[in-house]
Structure 1
Amino acid sequence: MQLIREDQGRVAGAVAKTEDGSYLRINASRGVLIATGGYDANPEMMQAWVRPEDYESSSWWNPSWGTTGDGHMMGLKVGADMDSLPHAVMNFSNATPGTFVEKRVYFPGPMNLGIIVTDEGKRFVNENNPRQYVSNCVNVQIRRGKSCFSIWNQSMFGETLEKVPNADKQIALDEEKGYLFRADTIEELAAKAGIDEVGLKDTIKRYDKAFEDGLEREPDYYRWTGNNKPFGEDGPWYALRSQSVILATVSGLTIDANANVLDRAGKPIEGLYATGNASGNFYSGNYPRHMQELRSDALRRSAMLRRRIC
């Protein structure tokens, strides 16, 4: 599909391709609203417009196969402006290395319980932070060549695990895939998962000491102890390979307060509107944006993509 922009600059409709291969013109008396979503299902656009560290080691939430950036492309074709690069994504923590995110019914944390460590056995973030902050910290560690693991033990579960349907089956499946490691002791867990034993034991000991000392906040990352539990000594112990997951892209065609799409001079394109993840300034600057200079390779990929569609 492509937009029709008249000589005077107004978007008057669109041309669509039908199932039999013929083309259909759709006239719009009042305007065209682009509501095609983001482009998280378009690997080429992700590679060109998003920071590599935001997606290269992430799973995909897979809300829809249709989020391929068609609206972005149609807008650029008729001269629309777009958010500056690199584009922002909505990214969460608690995924595993599979292509798509899998919800784990047995998982007790780390948003509420447990900790996240690298293969050195060391923590690197307050696990109770909002999920995008935890996700960004996980991505930094993976970018440095490290693996990340969510760690918890039986004391985190209490009696709840027995009440969760299919928990045993899911645990067994994740063990088979190599995502989850289970052991009766910390030493055995570290050996199975490839985590430094000394580092892990020291980290858990230090974490538990904050509870023993009655601290309101643990000293390393200022995590509140009031809604968490110490590990104690009870096995079995668990380690789940952890990485990030992308829910959606949230950058797009720039719009004004009336949802009018703007051109590269900042002027509204008459008859063209955008909404949702196809529109730019989606969170009006208050969702995490990445402040950095564009890399030369990102500029090159973006220029190549623009030449192909314009």
Structure 2
Amino acid sequence: MNEKWAVKPETLTPDQAEKTQEADIVVIGAGHAGICAARAAAEAGAGVIVLEQQEREKQWVLGIGEIGHINSQWQKEHGVQEVDIDTFVNDWQLRTGNRSLYPLIRTYAQHCGEAFDWLIEPLSQEEKDSIHPVLTPASSNMPELLNGLHAWPGTPNMGMALQSKVIKANHRLAEEYGAQFFFSTRALQLEQTEEGRVSGVFAKAVDGTLCLYRAKKGVILAAGDYSRNAQMCRYLLTETADLTEADSDFTGHGWDGSGICMGLWAGGRLEPRSHAAMGGNYSFPGFGLIGSTPVLRVNKHGKRYSDEAFGTHILAALPGAHQPNGNLWAVFDDTIETQITFQTPCHGLLDYTDQEEMARFEAALAKAKSQKNQMIMDQDRAGESRPLYCADTLEELAGLMFEEKADQETFLSEVKRYNALCHSHHDVDFGKDPRLMQPIEKAPFYASSTVKDSHRPGGQSLKILVTVSGLEIDENQQVLDRNFEPIPGLYATGNCSGRRFGTQYTTSLPGQSISIAQTLGRELGRYLAGI
């Protein structure tokens, strides 16, 4: 591999270090996985050093506050039903095409509930009670199974502010147990013995001092993803790269991939391409307004192009990436408040059990209804704005959506066809589940759009949030070498690690990327402390 980021820089040596310090475990990264690994290891009595490149007081942790897990005590107390472990893991393997490592995913499934209860221990009871279980209680309209795939309600949504607070609280707990944190310290390169064992990490402090932090038991790569590294994204996210133009920017909000590169330079093996990410290879209209409600979707020429409900919204949105550049439209009528109750739990849903979410939704519809035949800009939770139209007739709506007469006629023909399929309860065009075939007949009528542009990715179209693939690991999260053998002393967790997802991040409940990072980080900390 001759990519610039894959080529190891000049090897650093111990005599270059101005300072050397030793612990049982060195953790690179103080995000979700790194903090949980550090606290768990320190609780178990291990000496821990944590290196974090961000400033202590300005540290930013990824996530919107959804922590998707199953079977916690917190969920039981909030009326969320228990999930069968075997069903959960087999569903995961189906979603990933059996690319993920079964023992690793089973470990996650068995321990994610207790990991969440453990994570929120530092919060007050009032703060715990403020956390909302998504889609709880769920509507009886919610399909428990779509296209052979399950989805479960009950993900706790604590919001970004409380999420940051709980991570910092766990940071403080780790310090109370003896873990040492070095902020504004950037890891540069791993130290290896002549036999190939990873024995430490070279890092540069904010004042420029080169330090060597040695680990008696192991170094944990928990430095996050590579979504801000355009070269890595182009090389490793091959499906997304092939769907966009060479000069376009589909990179995301995460990190630069330095942790993954350090593992690669030490002889580690990357998970095979195409890597998985959140987004990048799909386009999805209606996201900010109606969540994942599977209403009729048409392309810039007014043509329906997919089963809008296939296996929850991420999989259902994949065909959108192959449509002509231009607006993709989500089209619905005045029965939308009933239709949203047919959503399955997934990222981007509209949580009809959340009063704040529903107030935003209702306000947007009321504004559109009061300004019929005019474009209004609906703003979602992330601050992105999208066009929304409302009209009394489908013909008026078609005129607002499309400039070309032919496209208007195509759209009206597609709506007529779609309504007929809905009444027949048999979607012979795309095979959509009959329960989700809702005709568009009751005025007023609405259309919400997303721009799909392979030249300019953005929002819910060809733009990624973070990458979720990385280094090949075994069931103990030990990094594998070019011969698929474990590298002594080197481990990877969180978004530095692979073998967790398939070629796309699609999950059975929202927030599983955060939960799996926290859970497997905790499990790795406990494991290393015990060896």
Q: Same fold (TM over 0.5)?
A: yes
Give the structure 2 partner of residue 20 of structure 1: 207
1:156-235, aligned counterparts within 5 Å?
156-157=336-337, 164-167=358-361, 168=363, 172-174=376-378, 179-194=387-402, 196-213=407-424, 215=425, 217-235=426-444
Decide which moves more: 46-55 or 148-157: 46-55
Give the structure 2 partner of residue 87 of structure 1: 275
Given that residues 224 and 495 in structure 2 are in contact (C-alpha distance below 8 angstroms), is that contact kept between their aligned partners in structure 1? yes
Given that residues 339 and 438 in structure 2 are in contact (C-alpha distance below 8 angstroms), is that contact kept between their aligned partners in structure 1? no
RMSD of equivalent CA atoms: 3.3
Give the structure 1 partner of residue 168 of structure 2: none
Superposed CA offset, 1:132-153 (max 9, x none): 3223211111xx4354211122
Give the structure 2 partner of residue 77 of structure 1: 265
Partner Cα separation in structure 2 for residue 9 and residue 159 of structure 1: 58
Partner Cα separation in structure 1 for residue 314 and residue 479 of structure 2: 28
Partner Cα separation in structure 1 for residue 220 and residue 210 of structure 2: 20
Shift of 1:37: 2.3
Partner Cα separation in structure 2 for residue 229 and residue 74 of structure 1: 51
Given that residues 227 and 466 in structure 2 are in contact (C-alpha distance below 8 angstroms), is that contact kept between their aligned partners in structure 1? yes
Given that residues 189 and 239 in structure 1 are in contact (C-alpha distance below 8 angstroms), is that contact kept between their aligned partners in structure 2? no
Partner Cα separation in structure 2 for residue 282 and residue 83 of structure 1: 10
Partner Cα separation in structure 2 for residue 73 and residue 49 of structure 1: 13
Which one-letter code corresponds to 2:388 in the other structure?
L
Return the TM-score normalized by structure 2: 0.46
Shift of 1:71: 1.2
Give the structure 1 partner of residue 82 of structure 2: none
Alignment of 1:119 onto 2:119 = no
Given that residues 298 and 330 in structure 2 are in contact (C-alpha distance below 8 angstroms), is that contact kept between their aligned partners in structure 1? yes
Match of 2:226 among 39, 43, 67: 39
Partner Cα separation in structure 2 for residue 250 and residue 71 of structure 1: 13
Given that residues 193 and 239 in structure 1 are in contact (C-alpha distance below 8 angstroms), is that contact kept between their aligned partners in structure 2? no
Decide which moves more: 43-52 or 14-23: 43-52
Compare the two structures and name the one with the higher helix fraction. 2
| Residues 131 and 4 of structure 1: CA distance in aligned 2, closer, same or farther (over 3 Å) | same
Give the structure 1 partner of residue 488 of structure 2: 270
Shift of 1:34: 0.9
Which one-letter code corresponds to 2:266 in the other structure?
V
Which one-letter code corresponds to 1:18 in the other structure?
A
| Residues 58 and 221 of structure 1: CA distance in aligned 2, closer, same or farther (over 3 Å) | farther
Which one-letter code corresponds to 2:215 in the other structure?
A
Shift of 1:43: 2.5
Given that residues 156 and 229 in structure 1 are in contact (C-alpha distance below 8 angstroms), is that contact kept between their aligned partners in structure 2? no
| Residues 27 and 178 of structure 1: CA distance in aligned 2, closer, same or farther (over 3 Å) | closer
Which one-letter code corresponds to 2:389 in the other structure?
F
Unaligned stretches of 5+ residues in structure 1: 97-101, 290-310
Given that residues 112 and 228 in structure 1 are in contact (C-alpha distance below 8 angstroms), is that contact kept between their aligned partners in structure 2? no
Partner Cα separation in structure 2 for residue 103 and residue 239 of structure 1: 9
Given that residues 278 and 464 in structure 2 are in contact (C-alpha distance below 8 angstroms), is that contact kept between their aligned partners in structure 1? yes
- SS of the equivalent of 1:149 reads strand
| Residues 117 and 60 of structure 1: CA distance in aligned 2, closer, same or farther (over 3 Å) | farther
Shift of 1:126: 0.6
Decide which moves more: 14-23 or 147-156: 147-156
Match of 2:320 among 126, 138, 159: 138
Which one-letter code corresponds to 2:412 in the other structure?
K
Partner Cα separation in structure 2 for residue 166 and residue 265 of structure 1: 53
| Residues 177 and 263 of structure 1: CA distance in aligned 2, closer, same or farther (over 3 Å) | closer
| Residues 123 and 149 of structure 1: CA distance in aligned 2, closer, same or farther (over 3 Å) | same
Shift of 1:33: 1.0
| Residues 19 and 89 of structure 1: CA distance in aligned 2, closer, same or farther (over 3 Å) | same
- SS of the equivalent of 2:316 reads helix
Partner Cα separation in structure 2 for residue 189 and residue 269 of structure 1: 61
Shift of 1:181: 3.2
Given that residues 221 and 496 in structure 2 are in contact (C-alpha distance below 8 angstroms), is that contact kept between their aligned partners in structure 1? yes
Partner Cα separation in structure 1 for residue 432 and residue 339 of structure 2: 25
| Residues 177 and 132 of structure 1: CA distance in aligned 2, closer, same or farther (over 3 Å) | closer
Partner Cα separation in structure 2 for residue 58 and residue 27 of structure 1: 38
